[in-house]
Amino acid sequence: MPSYTTSLRLVQPSTGEFPGTWGTEVNTGLTALVDASIAGTSSITMTAANFTLTTANGASDQSRAMFLVLGGTPGASYAVIVPSVSKLYFVTNNTGFAQTVRTSGTGISVPNGASMTLRCDGTNVVVAENYFLFTSGSAALPSVAISGDADTGMWSPAANTLAWSNNGAETMRLDSSGNLGLGVTPSAWVGDKSYQVNWGSISSGYDYGVNLNSVAYRSNTTWYYQVTGQAPARYEQLGGNHRWFSAPSGTAGGAISFTNTMTLDSSGNLLRGQTSSGNLNSRGFYSDAAGYFGQNHLNTDASGSFYAYFGFNGGTIGSITQSGTTAVLYNTTSDQRLKTNIVDAPDAAALIDSIKVRSFDWISDETHQRYGFIAQELVAVAPEAVHAPADPDEMMAVDYSKLVPMLIKEIQSLRARVAALEQV
């Protein structure tokens, strides 16, 4: 009696068997069966039940074919059961439902309309290959893994994920939602499409805006912490506006409550601490497109609160502060602790007499000024009141406030003289 091979069940005649019929036995029990196993197709008509492929020793059967084409109208998902022997299958599913190819094991689900390369390893049906390795000479190029099923690493239209790896380490992933992760599996974005790196991302889609995000991701209208203990930040372009957002640190997966900290709106207004150039009932400032600058305090802010601060080398040299609820103070540093050699100032009469007070017309708009100074003249008398740039081509300027102490000194001198005359 002849024996048969384990995997393909090909005839193995013993010595002296089949005398005078050897050609027939070889053709029917070997040649035809090898041809079917390499290039043959079995068309399987599925019904509302599992389908077990036929097997036969030394004769034609369904399970020996290389290509399995699943058809019929089963109306649901069932199993195609193959023998528990080593074998390669190319499976095409045209049944309208996903069908599982298996032995007694879990097997592989083949989605409707898909063609997959599977193999039985003698125990279970698995994906025949889940990555492509390209080589150039003796050096291997990075591999590209096409996967979609976390357990099997297969690709399917129902769960299509592309993953790129290098020397076994994943370097990039395109998930089934269309999100791209570079060196990281993309977070659970919903509504947006994102390009994500370890702790940051660029996303767009839900509200027609584009976002640059740090340790945050979005599911429809809600933002979530990507990691625990890190404060997220976000920059957004939307509707012609540029917006910056911040939030305190939180717990991974928790919802984020972002604060809009700054906005550059579509009209050119720069807003901090507020979202509209017409809303001055909040702290912050804006530079309006009409050409003015605003800085606001709340009604709870105390007198003396800064509107502006000026410093040099770590110290304060000037400020603009709130004065009550109706005025501001323009301050130049004058603290006694910053001064030495403090004595009474000399008489200012001669200096004041030397100051030339002029009338003149401004060239730019032809307006007339009845009283004023010429910087080039004043610098010789009161240089502390004149800004003289190092570049002679730049315009000189006068700080009129620097003349006030001199005027007060002269007024005091005049008052003393008047008081002395009154006593005569």
Beta bridge partners of 131: 145
Q: Examine the domain organization and report whether 70 and 35 are in the same domain.
A: yes
Domain that holds residue 378: 349-422
Query: What's the pLDDT score for residue 343?
Result: 95
Rounded mean pLDDT of 56-76?
A: 91
Residues near 391 by beta carbon (within 8 Å), at least 6 away in sequence:
none
Tokens of residue 399, six digits: 């700080």
Q: Examine the domain organization and report whether 43 and 102 are in the same domain.
A: yes
Label residue 124 exposed, middle or buried (CB < 10 Å: 0-12, 13-18, 19+): middle
23-48 tens-digit pLDDT = 666 666 677 778 778 878 999 999 99
Query: Which of these ranges, 60-74, 113-127, 272-286, has the smallest mean pLDDT?
Result: 272-286
112-150 tens-digit pLDDT = 988 999 999 999 999 887 655 544 444 444 444 444 443
Q: Examine the domain organization and report whether 330 and 353 are in the same domain.
A: no
Per the CB < 8 A criterion, the answer to whether 167 and 174 are in contact is no
Q: Examine the domain organization and report whether 313 and 405 are in the same domain.
A: no
Query: What's the pLDDT score for residue 171?
Result: 84
Q: Examine the domain organization and report whether 315 and 370 are in the same domain.
A: no
Residue 273 in any domain: the answer is no
Q: Examine the domain organization and report whether 254 and 327 are in the same domain.
A: no
Residue 96 in any domain: the answer is yes
Query: What's the pLDDT score for residue 340?
Result: 95
Residue 259 in any domain: the answer is yes
Residue 388 in any domain: the answer is yes
**Distance in angstroms (rounded) separating the CA atoms of residues 120 and 127:** 9
Residues near 109 by beta carbon (within 8 Å), at least 6 away in sequence:
77, 98, 99, 100, 156
The percent of residues above 90 in pLDDT, for the chain, comes to: 60
Q: Is the pLDDT reported for residue 62 higher than 60?
A: yes
Per the CB < 8 A criterion, the answer to whether 131 and 146 are in contact is yes
pTM score over 0.95: no
Q: Is the pLDDT reported for residue 281 higher than 80?
A: no
Q: Examine the domain organization and report whether 260 and 313 are in the same domain.
A: no
Query: What's the pLDDT score for residue 286?
Result: 66
**Average of per-residue pLDDT values in the chain:** 85
Rounded mean pLDDT of 366-370?
A: 96
Residue 167 in any domain: the answer is no
Residue 193 in any domain: the answer is yes
Per the CB < 8 A criterion, the answer to whether 333 and 317 are in contact is yes
Q: Examine the domain organization and report whether 60 and 111 are in the same domain.
A: yes
Q: Examine the domain organization and report whether 63 and 11 are in the same domain.
A: yes
Per-residue pLDDT band at 359 (split at 50, 70, 90): very high
Q: Is the pLDDT reported for residue 326 higher than 60?
A: yes
Q: Examine the domain organization and report whether 317 and 251 are in the same domain.
A: no
Per the CB < 8 A criterion, the answer to whether 227 and 216 are in contact is no
**Distance in angstroms (rounded) separating the CA atoms of residues 7 and 338:** 98
Q: Examine the domain organization and report whether 119 and 44 are in the same domain.
A: yes
- In three-state secondary structure terms, 275 is coil
Q: Examine the domain organization and report whether 46 and 115 are in the same domain.
A: yes
Rounded mean pLDDT of 224-237?
A: 96
| Domain count across the chain | 4
